[in-house]
Structure 1
């Protein structure tokens, strides 16, 4: 079904889970897999002493190389073909989500796999998540993979006696335990 799968990784637990899902899909479909690490190049709008963009970028690149080496080792172990890639966000007018979409197009991806929560700092609070921005403008199917913690919380909320947890997670009024658990199940 899928022949080219791109998965974005950033070192978070959630992206690790997304990579595992993409790896399994690539194995099952005999597809090429491209793990992608995006180096963000934040612009500094103020003069901060001791803040060196070159050092920050080098730290991102070092982390990306290590993550991609680990991904490649797992791909070889699972006999999944593909080539990991590290890319930079263009300095002006581009963000991580746009770079992911561009990279997916360059790879001719027919599926894009993303974790729902990465670790990109306070920026998410103001601009929304990277995954959300990718989904809004994607021209190919996108598989969003939640963290294992989120999956466990949903599963626990669906158990009898956990109506309050389900109500809090989905911002719905708590009714009878069975009603809330039934409503909390993902569809």
Structure 2
């Protein structure tokens, strides 16, 4: 049975680098690309929270699917790739998805946003939280 690797994708350079690293680290694995919709996605300011209307969620899902299409072009064509979209806190959604027995995730490979100083203390680090809480191995690619 092939390994299943969860790779969170947010469109950042870090998540793209993590995907490339995952391909090198797990050449024969299946990938599950996960995008987490956040209440602040699409907000005019990063700290703003917008109302989640049906239209907003639909637009965010459409953006996520476009992101998946772009990312799939970077992955070797023979690799099995699934996609998933979750809502809520990124760290919690990643951990919950990986811990779901039905998902059968063997490991997580994710990017680091490189937060430091006050931002890290105030906002926390998604990668750090996932490393601490996930029940599967986590590789954080810089």
Structure 1 Cα separation of the partners of residues 82 and 24 of structure 2: 16
Helix, strand or coil: the match of 2:11? coil
Cα deviation for residue 20 of structure 1 reads 1.2
User: Which residue, 124, 135, 139 being the options, matches 2:135?
Assistant: 139
Q: Which residue of 2 aligns with 1:12?
A: 12
The residue number in structure 2 matching 1:127 is: 123
**More helix per residue:** 1
Query: What is the CA–CA distance in structure 2 between the aligned matches of 1:82 and 1:105, rounded to whole Å?
Result: 19
Q: Report what 2:82 is aligned to.
A: 83
Structure 1, unpaired ranges of 5+: 43-50, 90-94, 147-187
Partner residue, 1:37: 35
Q: What is the 5 A alignment of 1:1-187?
A: 3-26=3-26, 28=27, 30-42=28-40, 52-54=51-53, 56-75=56-75, 77-89=76-88, 95-106=89-100, 107-117=103-113, 126-146=122-142
| SS in structure 1 at match of 2:81 | coil
- Name the counterpart of 1:178: none
TM-score (norm 1): 0.59
Q: How many residues align?
A: 128
RMSD of aligned Cα (Å): 2.7
More strand by share: 2
Mind listing any 5+ residue stretches in structure 2 that lack a counterpart?
A: 41-49
